Amino acid sequence: MFSVQAYGDSAVLIEFGTEINEQTRLEILSFTEQLKEDKIEGVINWIPAYTTVVIVYDVFKISFLQLKRELEKVQIKVQDLGLGRLVRIPVCYDTKFSLDIEEVMLQTGLSRDEIIELHTTPEYQVHMLGFVPGFFYLGGLDTRLHCGRKEKPRIKIEAGAVGIAGSQTGVYPLESPGGWQLLGKTPIAMFDKDRKDRPFYVRQGDRVQFYEITLEQYKQFNL
Amino acid sequence: MIEILKPGFLSLVQDAGRKAYMDCGVPVSGAMDSDSYLLANWLVGNSLDAAVLEVTLIGPQILFTRETCIGITGAAMNATIDNKPVTMYETIKVSKGSVLKFGSVKTGCRTYISFEGGLNVSKELGSRSTYVYAKLGGVKGRALQKGDCIPLGKTTLRKFRKVPLEYHQTVSSIIVLRVLPSIEHTHFEKESIAKFYSTEYTIGSQSNRMGYRLEGARLAINDHKELVSSGIVQGTIQIPSNGQPIILLSDAQTTGGYPRIANVIAADLSLLAQQKPGDRVRFRKVSLEEAHHLNLIKTEKFAALL
């Protein structure tokens, strides 16, 4: 179940739990799928996250109490959710891009090949998008790959860099500062405003799998 | 067409914002002072979501390659056309070849310049608003530079308009912002809550369209467990580990993990957008009903004019 509370005068926050887990992810996914269908008058947009959904609304179209009542009626049907689209993302783990793989080897006691193997094996679940346009938070990183963030965050990380930190893994969609350990780079833009049919390569509800490509394949990818 | 002769400190194309992609991590952006933005568009008979220029602290110099009408609202920056002072908050006729110049701001922070027909840059993700960090909207997704030429949209109606005085944006170096307690309000120490509502905060120099960093009484939290990242909206006041509040604004990221102490009410966000580093704010708590009532009064007032 979930609870609805006011968040400022133009939004509400719906809490589905307090811990990150698969059940909560599915409930939130089902809830937002239902929101798309129900089209509640006055709802402008929503931001799904790990354990919450923030809904922005127009108070001149729906009052807080009406909205709360409407939201409390939304039926969560986790059992009806499909498997979700599988998005396969090529990653070049060449030394040119795996800037922190040696630090990860030291922290985890794994070899380079083992790290790549463990990183490319799972099907990750997309929990949420945020931080910058097109950045997705993934769940499902193998516990053997869990490691600390960089002690000194980088001021500049290139768009497409693939990294890990703590229990998280993901791709930097824009050049940005960041503290993750970098393992490789993808030639696909995770955010491209000019790719009209798909500006965001990954969306909520998708599954993500990384697969390894060589430096040669990386260079030829966008030719 | 207009041509930018000098860009000023920070001149950006902005419209009503980009609300459709918050779930993909895209900030809303849009004009920071939406009151002045709406009035500017009204002055030249534009639709109320047309793109205008938002200029910050030091204004630009603009050459007009055709005759048109403009409107100037928000903070005063000593606007002149062909070196003759012009009046804000009324429709201004501009001849072909004229040059609009601005000085720097004395009180307030942002001036809005509307152009008959609107600034006709292409929409990106549904909006013309510039979001520099992701190079979205505006002119090449960046602040205006010398030599930029921006086409104007189709001319609508040419009618002289004047904004009544009671609609002019209040600009003051000290303001009171009305706020609602936010999601993690109860996580804060009692003394910190008391300080938040009773002391004055100064807008810090690191403030920008993403957020205002405030300097003042340090606020502490009872329970130091790390929060799970959650959606955030404009007007949220979050407290990072240094205890100094940050008010999140138009270009703020859509998710965050700092405890939220309060939210500035929608009716006061435009007023806040006119504060600049060194200005001061105080916070006053209101109820959700009061916030909605204040919002209604304001919206009805604007609806009566626009």
Say yes or no: domain A3-80 is CATH 3.30.1360.40.
yes
State the pairing for strand pair A86-92/A207-213: parallel
In the block, tokens 């504060």 appear at: B275
Chain A (154-183) residues lying within 8 Å, Cβ to Cβ, of chain B: 174
Q: Inter-chain contact B266–A8, Cβ cutoff 8 Å?
A: yes
Question: Domain spanning A86-221 has what CATH number?
Answer: 2.40.100.10
When pLDDT is averaged across residues B157-180 and rounded to a whole number, the result is 93
Rounded to the nearest angstrom, the minimum Cα separation between A111 and chain B is 32
Q: A209 near A83, Cβ under 8 Å?
A: no
User: Above 90 in pLDDT, residue B51?
Assistant: yes
Reported as a single tens digit per residue, the pLDDT across B106-147 is 899 999 999 999 999 999 999 999 999 999 999 999 999 999
**Dist CA B86 CA A34 (whole Å):** 53
Interface probe for A, chosen from B254, B265, B296, B300 (most Cβ of A below 10 Å), is: B254
Query: What ipTM was predicted for this assembly?
Result: 0.95
Domain topology for B174-305: Cyclophilin (2.40.100)
**Dist CA B43 CA B50 (whole Å):** 12
CA angle A157, A195, B27 (to 5 degrees): 60
B226 confidence band (pLDDT: 50, 70, 90):
confident
Which of A142-156, B120-134, B154-168 shows the lowest mean pLDDT across its residues?
A: B154-168
When pLDDT is averaged across residues B58-83 and rounded to a whole number, the result is 97
Structural domain spans, chain A: 3-80, 86-221
Reported as a single tens digit per residue, the pLDDT across A164-181 is 999 999 999 999 989 999
Output b/e per residue, B114-142; b: 16+ Cβ within 10 A: bbbbbbbbeebbebbbbbbbbebbbbebe
| CA atoms within 13 A of residue A27's CA, in its CB half-sphere | 19
User: Above 90 in pLDDT, residue B227?
Assistant: no
**Dist CA A33 CA A203 (whole Å):** 12
| Nearest CB to B26; choose among A10, A133, A137 | A133
B156 confidence band (pLDDT: 50, 70, 90):
low
Mean pLDDT (chain B) is 96
When pLDDT is averaged across residues B206-221 and rounded to a whole number, the result is 97
Q: Inter-chain contact A13–B133, Cβ cutoff 8 Å?
A: no
User: Above 90 in pLDDT, residue B224?
Assistant: no
User: Above 70 in pLDDT, residue B55?
Assistant: yes
Q: Inter-chain contact A13–B183, Cβ cutoff 8 Å?
A: yes
**Dist CA B232 CA A188 (whole Å):** 28
User: Above 80 in pLDDT, residue B44?
Assistant: yes
State the pairing for strand pair B110-115/B61-64: unpaired
User: Above 70 in pLDDT, residue A204?
Assistant: yes
Reported as a single tens digit per residue, the pLDDT across B166-175 is 999 989 999 9
Cα B253 to Cα A129, B9, B172, B247, B250: the distances in Å are: 11, 23, 28, 12, 9
Q: Inter-chain contact B232–A51, Cβ cutoff 8 Å?
A: no
Q: Inter-chain contact B125–A46, Cβ cutoff 8 Å?
A: no
Reported as a single tens digit per residue, the pLDDT across A27-85 is 999 999 999 999 999 999 999 999 999 999 999 999 999 999 999 999 999 999 989 99
B69 Cβ contact partners less than 8 Å away, ≥ 6 residues apart: B43, B44, B45, B91, B92, B93, B94, B115, B116, B158
In the block, tokens 């939220």 appear at: B260
According to the model, what pLDDT value does residue B157 have?
A: 64
According to the model, what pLDDT value does residue A222 have?
A: 82
Q: Say yes or no: A62 contacts chain B, CB-CB below 8 A.
A: no
Q: Inter-chain contact A50–B229, Cβ cutoff 8 Å?
A: yes
Reported as a single tens digit per residue, the pLDDT across B232-256 is 999 999 999 999 999 999 999 999 9
Q: Which two tokens stand for residue A136?
A: 């997705």
Mean pLDDT (chain A) is 96
Structural domain spans, chain B: 2-167, 174-305
Q: Say yes or no: A31 contacts chain B, CB-CB below 8 A.
A: no
User: Above 90 in pLDDT, residue B281?
Assistant: yes
- Phi-psi label, residue B26: left if phi above 0, alpha if psi -120 to 50, beta otherwise: beta
Reported as a single tens digit per residue, the pLDDT across B8-32 is 999 999 999 999 999 999 999 999 9
Question: What residues in B contact A19, CB-CB < 8 Å?
Answer: 228
B155 confidence band (pLDDT: 50, 70, 90):
confident
User: Above 90 in pLDDT, residue B89?
Assistant: yes
The total of other beta-carbon atoms located within 10 Å of residue B7's CB is 20
Interface probe for A, chosen from B18, B19, B22, B121 (most Cβ of A below 10 Å), is: B22
